Amino acid sequence: MLEQSSHSEPVRPSLPVNPFDSDKYIAIVSRASGSQLEITFPNINDANSGQIISRAEVGGYVLVGSGEYAVLGQLSEMWIPEGSNYDGGNAIHPIGKIQLSSSIHVPSGKVIPGTGRMPRIGDKVFVADAILVQMIVEAKQRNKKSGQAVTMQFAHLPDGQQTSLHFTPEMLFGRHCALLGTTGGGKSWSLARIVEEASKLKSKTILFDATGEFFGLRGPIRHVYLGHDPQPKEGAVEVALPYYELTERDLFAIFKPKGQSQAPKLRAAIKSLKLLGLAPELSMDSTIIKAHRSKKDFLAASRRFHRELENPLAMFDIECLARQIENECVRPNRSALEPMFWGDTSGTDLALCTSLVNRVSDMVTSPSLSAIFAPHGKPSLIKEIDDFLQDPNLAVLCVSLKHLPFSHMAREIVANAMGRHLLALGRKEQFRKQPLLVVLDEAHQFLNRELVDRNAEYPLDSFSIIAKEGRKYSLSICLATQRPRDLPEGVLSQMGTLIVHRLINDMDRGVIERASGEMDQTSLNAIPGLAPGHAVILGVSFPTPVTIKVEEPTCPPDSDGPDYQQYWRK
């Protein structure tokens, strides 16, 4: 059997378990290069070595004894050297590769990132005890100095003992979090578990549910939804996001004025209707008619209400907007001698704005957009959020967007408006003593890279700003998506913690590799083969990427697909 060289005898351990237990010995280091080791196992033809080799498992964690350090690594490959002769009882020593990640200083028990001391040729390799892997993964939490740390039991190690893992909220959300994984990989399961664990604490979480699958969540939670639900769920409240709580920029993103004529006319129409609400004496047929009319009263009212007109909120009668756009299509002056009168209707401007007028008219009266343009009698989502934040008995507000249409960017507008509102509250220090977690399910629907590029003039960038600035306002976001390649890489790179379920697309894995400098090749290669509910968790608060099994949520999300067996029977 191979022996360890005398220069690297491990020190006497002072840890919960002996990291250098002889019963866990598997190999010695035969080659060292950077953060990788090549190891040699005992002779496979030695009858006494079979049990030793059977302890080794690709993907399993190992510890290398290197002086005062136990260096953690993951066994990434095992093979038998080419040309090995199985006949005649010749010695055959399998070879393996280890990807190193972090270390334990054995005398003090301190966990440090990286290798405290690079292993040498002849150093022994041991299977890592689950208790020590747990200790390394939870190192940040154990370093807390202010008494007992607040933790969440989110997952366990996928070992026979199911060794539990507890993470502090700072570890998961302190620098934002992203849950990534293809359909069926367990992403929604993990999201439900996170929300449930957070709800057990004195916390505040707002969950934007894109598909309605989290309605089953129970506890100190309030469920609201936007859009018409033909079969409303008991206990859920229909809410609206009134257009007058949006900004002019939101309306521009919805109505999409095109060309050099439509945007100025839309802006002028909004200003006129806002002024009409402040000075109703200017009204003629619920709008301000300009053709051949004097500008005197209009300009005087504009000067009088200058401050109010600067308010970005859309405080006007939206039902009159299409007609007011038509009223704006006039010549600037009736003649050179009459500069204080608007001129005749401009046929050219009216023709250029016809598509905008029709678009505004159709959208304002569309039943699918009634949550925005016909909010009568429904509570405001913004008020619901404000009330939730003030209610000490509620921990979670679940906002379902299932019945809000994809057309006209309604979902994106709503999510962006909510993000802007929360960012404004954060800048007022409202979350300093009550940190807020905002969970955005199916984030690619709201933070789509193409969407950002397409609307560069009127960007929907609230959550991008939160990703960059929210931490200093105690405002954290948790993004969940099955398409990380569709997210702006600038947003994904701001996620301090990544929980990665199975991802098959190599473009998605490439995005993760670029977004995180800590994802080693071994962990990256393991992602396509992760079982449902398993994930790799990594980030700035974790000394090493580690494979975990997420705990089952008490109320699993409704993620079932179509029931062919019931509905396709003969």
> Could you give the CA distance from residue 191 to residue 179 in angstroms, rounded to a whole number?
8
- Asked whether the CA dihedral 336, 340, 346, 348 is positive or negative, the reply is positive
Mean pLDDT to the nearest integer, 519-546: 83
Range with the lowest mean pLDDT among 394-403, 453-462, 555-564?
453-462
DSSP letter for each residue of 445-473? GTS-HHHHHHTSSS---HHHHHHHHGGGG
Relative to beta strand 221-226, strand 237-239 is parallel
- What pLDDT score was predicted for residue 368? 86
- What pLDDT score was predicted for residue 1? 40
Highest mean pLDDT among 10-24, 318-332, 450-464: 318-332
pLDDT in tens, 357-369: 999 999 999 988 9
Give the chain's mean pLDDT. 87
**Statement: residue 306 has pLDDT above 70:** yes
For residue 6, how many other CB atoms are within 10 A of its CB? Answer: 7
Q: Which two tokens stand for residue 155?
A: 């997952």
**Statement: residue 332 has pLDDT above 70:** yes
Q: Which two tokens stand for residue 82?
A: 């080419």
Mean pLDDT to the nearest integer, 444-465: 71
- What pLDDT score was predicted for residue 12? 45
pLDDT in tens, 166-198: 999 999 999 999 999 988 888 999 999 999 999
- What pLDDT score was predicted for residue 5? 42
**Statement: residue 458 has pLDDT above 80:** no
pLDDT in tens, 200-249: 998 999 999 999 999 999 999 999 999 988 888 888 999 999 999 999 88
Strand order in the sheet with 396-400: 164-167, 152-156, 546-550, 534-539, 497-500, 177-180, 475-481, 436-440, 204-209, 396-400, 221-226, 237-239
Question: 137 with 536: CB under 8 angstroms?
Answer: no
For the chain, list the domains and their CATH numbers: 6-130 (no CATH), 177-241+375-497 (3.40.50.300), 248-368 (no CATH)
pLDDT in tens, 114-170: 787 899 999 999 999 999 998 888 887 665 554 567 899 989 998 767 889 999 999
Mean pLDDT to the nearest integer, 337-358: 95
Task: Give residue 540's Cα distance to chain centre.
Answer: 16
- What pLDDT score was predicted for residue 544? 81
Question: 104 with 110: CB under 8 angstroms?
Answer: yes
pTM comes to: 0.86
10 Å CB burial of residue 505 (0-12, 13-18, 19+) is middle
Cα–Cα distances in angstroms (integers) from residue 111 to residues 18, 73, 140, 163, in the given order: 15, 13, 9, 18
How big, in percent rounded to 5, are the helix, strand and coil portions of the chain? 35, 20, 40
**Statement: residue 268 has pLDDT above 80:** yes
10 Å CB burial of residue 7 (0-12, 13-18, 19+) is exposed
| H or E segment to which residue 169 belongs | helix 169-173
Range with the lowest mean pLDDT among 271-275, 340-344, 564-568?
564-568
Q: Which two tokens stand for residue 355?
A: 């598509």
- Tell which residue, 342, 324, 330, has the closest CA to residue 274: 324
